[in-house]
């Protein structure tokens, strides 16, 4: 029960921040918001404001802001369909943007108090590829396989991508040493202890530095956004099994496991695990909502961009139908991944 409560709090905060992004732009633009909902499905309870009904619904895996005139032509000066197109574009974008902002704020706090890995090498392991190639402590990694590197999260990500795509091919690493740049070609080595392909380096840790923590949180969030996009691409290309997609039950279980593992050590560790998962879920929600799938923010963005370029709106009735079909498909997907979550809990590993 405690795990469920923690998970619901995490999901509610992430969704609330997302929907608040849409909501605040509507309000600042003068658009009437008919409903601000957390979750989908049957209404659990609601509060009626001056213009807006604030509701909580049964399935806390999404949410929505329902402005007047969102999917139809409404003859009202404060209807969304009568707002300038750039305001509607901003309204759609602000939901995912607020998710990224939440992730940055959380990661900044964790980085400041706990510390974070910089892109400066603190230690190289003897008999591992990086040390053998000539990389030494104090070297600062600036590029990996042609990708700019600013924080350790990017080092981990680009190494993982290289291992997945290129395996035994050398990894191109550019480092900065004494004001000069040097390029190394390193083939990752399989480590039986971690069961991963490594090059044998560890980062210098920084903490209690506000500016560095902000710097880290921005680039670490950027790295996570790229990771999420990469994961979606792998899934769509069939390189990742659909059974690995996590639904609401799986998310609740994961949050609960992380909380339990942390709280067994102490309260702070448990809280840190929860916050870390919260920012990860927030980034994923922001990225996924930008996918141009009907009923998601990305789909509405496509229609608004079409209007901005064509100079006229897409047919409102057809757009509403497309979003309705998309919503039904999303509900079907929700049922499938929930079933998959339950199956994985009952029969793990099958």
Domains and CATH numbers, the chain: 2-94+267-281+288-346 (no CATH), 117-206 (2.30.42.10)
Compute how many other C-beta atoms are within 10 angstroms of the C-beta atom of residue 325: 12
Residues 39, 41: Cα–Cα separation, whole Å? 7
Of the candidate ranges 15-24, 47-56, 222-231, the one whose mean pLDDT is the lowest: 222-231
Residue 58 has pLDDT above 80, yes or no: yes
Helices (H), 29-84: none
Residue 40 has phi, psi (to 5 degrees) of -125, 175
Query: Percent of the chain beyond pLDDT 70?
Result: 91
- What is the value of pTM for the model shown? 0.88
How far apart CA 262 and CA 268 sit, in angstroms, is: 8
How far out from the chain centre does Cα 208 lie?
25
pLDDT range class, residue 247, cuts 50, 70, 90: low
Q: Out of 5-19, 78-92, 150-164, 226-240, pick the least confident.
A: 226-240
The span from the CA of 36 to the CA of 64, in Å, is 6
247/56 Cα distance (integer angstroms):
19
State yes or no: pLDDT of 238 exceeds 60: yes
- Say how far apart CA 94 and CA 216 lie, in whole Å: 22
Q: Please give the span between the terminal C-alpha atoms of the chain, in angstroms, as a whole number.
A: 26
pLDDT digit string, tens, across residues 163-195: 888 878 999 999 999 999 999 999 999 888 888
**Which residues are part of the catalytic machinery?**
19
What is the distance between the alpha carbons of residues 327 and 29, in angstroms, rounded to a whole number? 26
What is the spatial distance between Cα 6 and Cα 271, in angstroms, rounded to a whole number?
A: 10
């Amino acid at each position: 029960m405690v795990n469920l409560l923690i998970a619901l709090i995490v999901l509610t905060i992430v969704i609330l921040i997302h929907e608040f992004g849409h909501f605040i732009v509507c309000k600042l633009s003068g658009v009437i918001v008919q409903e601000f909902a957390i979750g989908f499905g049957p209404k659990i309870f609601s509060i009626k404001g001056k213009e807006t009904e604030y509701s909580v619904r049964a399935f806390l895996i999404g949410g929505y802001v329902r402005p007047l005139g969102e999917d139809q032509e409404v003859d009202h000066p404060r209807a969304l369909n009568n707002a300038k197109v750039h305001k509607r574009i901003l309204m759609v974008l602000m939901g995912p943007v607020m998710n990224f902002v939440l992730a940055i704020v959380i990661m900044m706090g964790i980085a400041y108090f706990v510390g974070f890995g910089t892109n400066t090498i603190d230690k190289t392991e003897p008999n591992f590829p990086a040390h053998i190639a000539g990389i030494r402590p104090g070297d600062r990694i600036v590029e990996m396989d042609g990708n700019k590197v600013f924080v350790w999260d990017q080092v981990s990500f680009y190494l993982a991508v290289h291992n997945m795509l290129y395996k035994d091919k050398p990894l191109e690493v550019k480092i900065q040493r004494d004001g000069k740049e040097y390029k190394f070609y390193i083939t990752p080595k399989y480590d039986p202890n971690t069961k991963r392909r490594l090059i044998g380096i560890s980062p210098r840790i920084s903490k209690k530095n506000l500016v560095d923590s902000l710097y880290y949180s921005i680039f670490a969030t950027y790295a996570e956004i790229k990771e999420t996009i990469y994961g979606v691409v792998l899934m769509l290309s069939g390189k990742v099994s659909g059974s690995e997609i996590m639904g609401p039950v799986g998310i609740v279980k994961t949050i609960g496991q992380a909380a339990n593992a942390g709280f067994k050590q102490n309260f702070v560790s448990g809280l840190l695990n929860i916050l870390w998962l919260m920012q990860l879920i927030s980034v994923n929600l922001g990225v996924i909502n930008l996918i141009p799938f009907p009923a998601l923010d990305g789909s509405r963005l496509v229609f608004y961009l079409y209007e901005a370029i064509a100079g006229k709106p897409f047919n409102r009735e057809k757009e509403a139908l497309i979003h309705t079909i998309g919503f039904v498909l999303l509900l079907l997907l929700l049922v499938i991944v929930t079933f998959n979550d339950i199956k994985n809990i009952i029969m793990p590993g099958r």
